[in-house]
Amino acid sequence: MNFTDFCAKEGVRLLRDDINYIRNKLYHVAKYNRKAVMLEYIARWHQGMSECTEPNKRENAGRRKANLYLLLEL
């Protein structure tokens, strides 16, 4: 299963820009560690969504928190 299918299964709706960004970041991660990175990405996404109090902004809040994880920690 590729990461886009994995994310969709976990309720994370990726945009085309997200997919390109994640691919670029995962390219620099060892293959054996990629699943752990994606699990953390999904966890951060859900955390960001749950922290947002405005329903129409929840998905963007999740996306922002997850993408910042990749930016700052990889």
Global pTM value: 0.92
> What is the pLDDT, as a whole number, of residue 2?
84
Are 61 and 48 in contact by the 8 Å Cβ rule? The answer is: yes
> What is the pLDDT, as a whole number, of residue 10?
92
pLDDT digits (tens), the chain, 74 positions = 788 998 999 999 999 999 999 999 999 999 999 999 999 999 999 999 999 999 899 999 999 999 999 999 98
Residue 3's alpha-carbon distances to 12, 15, 55, 73, in angstroms, are 11, 13, 26, 19
> What is the pLDDT, as a whole number, of residue 59?
94
